[in-house]
Structure 1
Amino acid sequence: MRKILTAALLAICCGAMAQTPISKYKPGVTPEGAVYYLPKTALRIVVQVEKTTYTPGDFCIYADRFLRLKDVETEKTVDYKVTTINMTSVGVADTSKCYSIKLNPKSSATNIRLADDGTLTAINAEPTAQDVPAAFVPAPKKTPVNPRQFMNEDILAAGSTAKMAQLTAQEIYDIRESKSLLTRGQADFMPKDGAQMKLMLEQLDTQDKALTSLFAGTTEKDTTEHVFIVCPDKEISKEVLFRLSRRLGIVDKDDLSGTPYYISVTDLHSIPAADPVEPAGKRKQQDNGIFVNVPGKIKATISKGNHMMGSFELYAGQFGHTELLSSELFNKRFSTRLILNPTTGSVARLDAEQPK
């Protein structure tokens, strides 16, 4: 009986333990104070890739014979290439830099503003919003022209593809001759004014290009945008950012069918190291102030093999150190307003005015 009761008690305890909710710690502002993060800087790399699709025309095998067009491809091809690479910076919460501030009646730091991820943005002021990148909008595509609508009755009634190609080529030569006569003023029906002349030439150009595409084929270009986020905590030496296949476009990093594009990050050591004599923890205990970042400058390079595609210099919070703004700045004697850079966590603006 004792064994049964013991087993029952263990089962009840295990069930109670299994039902205990565990929630992830989140920073925030309470009446007693605030817990906040400082941001670290992530790299937002925007790559635009152009896709070129070539489609052969119906009469491609007769291109040299009737129009003297050399080396016309007879198979459909798709080709991808990188056209532009741009880089900007964004701020994300650095969970390794978590600090707290205790509110007290002697402090003027009462209006503490945090971002959604818990990073400190401002005190007693409106925070600076991070720049929202513009959404990528592809260029509108033109409605393709059907070349068969410009074929005359003789072409459509031809009994073979070779005959259709021959008559289409003759129609192209007639159109080009008409354009030449118009520009020289020798056409049988000349336009009355310049606007009518322009309209007639545009119509002849449209017919010429549409019928010629039956021999030379058509080429369509389409641009897509790809965004990569890299948040370096230390220097990076030629790490694969993405791979590009000329036939498949952007592929996985481990897909060897694509050519690798590398990213490197170098610390430029633009600021001296923090003073090791007075560690941040000790200062935190002595002074209920506000910690801010002193960002360091880095250089990020995108390369394809040994060919550099782009180089960018920017400030990053994680490559610098933190400094403590003394609580004296937020004494009731001062009207202090603090705004932090949302990307680096550095002081963007600090106004401390003593009332008269």
Structure 2
Amino acid sequence: MIKYYLLTAAMCVAPFLFAQTEVVSSQERAGFSNGVIYNLPKTVLGVEVEAVKTIKLAGPYYRYSERYLGTKDVITENSTTWSVKSVKIVLKSKPDPNNSFMVKLDPASGASYITLTPNGTLFGVNIPFNQNKMNASPAPQNDTNPNLSFSGAVLNEEALQANSVAKMAELSAKQIYRIRDSRLNLITGDNDKLPDGDALALMLSNLDKSEKELTALFVGKTVSVSSTITFDVTPEKQMKNEVLFRLSTLGGVVSKDDLSGQPYYINVLDISDKNIQVREKSGPSGLYYRIPGVADVSVIDPTGNVLINKKINLGQFGTVQALSASIFNKNTVKIQFDPLTGALISIEK
């Protein structure tokens, strides 16, 4: 639920009141009876790992591939391997309990209309919350039902009635050659009557499909299945070569505590400009916000290959600053903050 706080009482006499915007840290002192609590956000790294499971299946006639099809490039035993296809980082946020503040709502103050995100972090003043600002990328669809069987539907009656695997392989190979001859006749126009347009395209497509299914009985088949898992990381300090997850031969992407897999590492290095001067506030403090820091974030595979490297603004790597209370002397002031880092985005008076 989106949270809005609008003080309506005594608005008719607001022109005669002097703005009294007060903000206190809820960690340091008691708040106000008519106050609103908000938190600054901690930036969360949502590391999305797309892994591919590759399944290789030996065909039932693989021993006869060289004899009947003249090829040695076949799968001779079943196997399963995993690999990481891609890594993506999506920013999220969660409330920082150590940076919680309370605003005293005053009818004469521009801070009388406070907008919070659904998790209670500050979004803006006199500006509506936009859910799209917080939406992450849609969850990828994982293929959980791959076809791992060999089709016998394309075998002719003679092959199905054969009394040995060797004979079935021989008859299946002859069927492959007949399909190739039929396709060649259609392409070269050697048939007396040829279909045209969509009918010809459909016949060629069916012949290709049948040949592929029959050939798989000899050379085998390879099936790839993609799956995606997300690891949420909230850096409190720099991270150097910390295990993010592991890749297991049997289980794919597993947690960092599962020693059955090879480790993938994450680095989060603070590269913030240490020369940035925090402005000294004059007079009472208004709303507190963050000046985020900058981190160099990378994910590395077991061989040292860098899968992703990005410079990312992290709220908790920065400093906390306060707007001057005088900014809120006008009810028309509009202020927007970044819900992911707590940074000040804009002020409109």
CA distance in 2, matches of 1:109, 1:245: 53
CA distance in 2, matches of 1:111, 1:334: 9
Q: Deviations over 1:120-154 (max 9, x none)?
A: 11222112431232121246978789632222222
Letter in 2 for 1:159: N
Aligned partners of 2:105 and 2:112 also within 8 Å: yes
CA distance in 2, matches of 1:165, 1:110: 82
| 2:202 equivalent to 1:199 | yes
CA distance in 2, matches of 1:317, 1:252: 26
Residue matched to 1:166: 170
| 2:131 equivalent to 1:134 | no
Letter in 1 for 2:333: T
Aligned partners of 1:290 and 1:324 also within 8 Å: yes
| 2:325 equivalent to 1:327 | yes
Q: Deviations over 1:260-306 (max 9, x none)?
A: 11100111123635549x6xxxx69x614111111122110011132
Map 1:209-248 → 2, pairs under 5 A: 209-248=212-251
CA distance in 2, matches of 1:180, 1:219: 27
CA distance in 2, matches of 1:141, 1:345: 43
Residue identity over aligned pairs, in percent, reads: 33
- The Cα of 1:69 is off from its aligned counterpart by 2.3
Q: Residues 322 and 274 from structure 1, CA distance in 2 versus in 1: closer, same or farther, beyond 3 angstroms?
A: farther
Q: Residues 219 and 121 from structure 1, CA distance in 2 versus in 1: closer, same or farther, beyond 3 angstroms?
A: same
CA distance in 2, matches of 1:96, 1:148: 65
Q: Residues 252 and 139 from structure 1, CA distance in 2 versus in 1: closer, same or farther, beyond 3 angstroms?
A: closer
Q: Residues 50 and 30 from structure 1, CA distance in 2 versus in 1: closer, same or farther, beyond 3 angstroms?
A: farther
Name the structure where helix makes up a greater proportion of residues: 1
Aligned partners of 1:111 and 1:123 also within 8 Å: yes
Q: Residues 55 and 310 from structure 1, CA distance in 2 versus in 1: closer, same or farther, beyond 3 angstroms?
A: same
Q: Which deviates the most, 141-150 or 50-59?
A: 141-150
CA distance in 1, matches of 2:174, 2:195: 28
Q: Residues 196 and 103 from structure 1, CA distance in 2 versus in 1: closer, same or farther, beyond 3 angstroms?
A: closer
CA distance in 2, matches of 1:72, 1:262: 36
CA distance in 1, matches of 2:147, 2:266: 39
Letter in 1 for 2:167: K
Partner secondary structure for residue 112 of structure 2: coil
Could you tell me the TM-score, scaled by structure 1's length? 0.82
| 2:306 equivalent to 1:299 | no
Structure 1 runs of 4+ off > 4 angstroms? 139-146, 273-276
Map 1:256-267 → 2, pairs under 5 A: 256-267=259-270
Partner secondary structure for residue 180 of structure 1: helix
Partner secondary structure for residue 179 of structure 2: helix
| 2:293 equivalent to 1:289 | no
Q: Considering only CA atoms, is the larger Rg found in Structure 1 or Structure 2?
A: 1
CA distance in 2, matches of 1:162, 1:234: 65
Residue matched to 1:57: 59
Residue matched to 1:107: 109
CA distance in 2, matches of 1:87, 1:64: 48
Letter in 2 for 1:136: P
Q: Which deviates the most, 79-88 or 196-205?
A: 196-205
Residue matched to 1:67: 69
Aligned partners of 1:292 and 1:346 also within 8 Å: yes
| Runs of 5+ consecutive residues of structure 2 not aligned to the other structure | 1-26
CA distance in 2, matches of 1:310, 1:133: 17
Could you tell me the TM-score, scaled by structure 2's length? 0.83
Aligned partners of 2:245 and 2:255 also within 8 Å: yes
Aligned length: 317
Partner secondary structure for residue 190 of structure 2: coil
| Runs of 5+ consecutive residues of structure 1 not aligned to the other structure | 1-24
CA distance in 2, matches of 1:146, 1:247: 23
CA distance in 2, matches of 1:44, 1:143: 32
CA distance in 2, matches of 1:265, 1:140: 33
- The Cα of 1:192 is off from its aligned counterpart by 3.3
Partner secondary structure for residue 244 of structure 2: strand
Partner secondary structure for residue 110 of structure 2: coil
Residue matched to 2:258: 255
Provide the aligned C-alpha RMSD in A: 2.5
- The Cα of 1:37 is off from its aligned counterpart by 0.9
Aligned partners of 2:32 and 2:102 also within 8 Å: no
Match of 1:317 among 315, 331, 346: 315
Q: Residues 190 and 51 from structure 1, CA distance in 2 versus in 1: closer, same or farther, beyond 3 angstroms?
A: farther
Aligned partners of 2:292 and 2:316 also within 8 Å: yes
| 2:185 equivalent to 1:185 | no
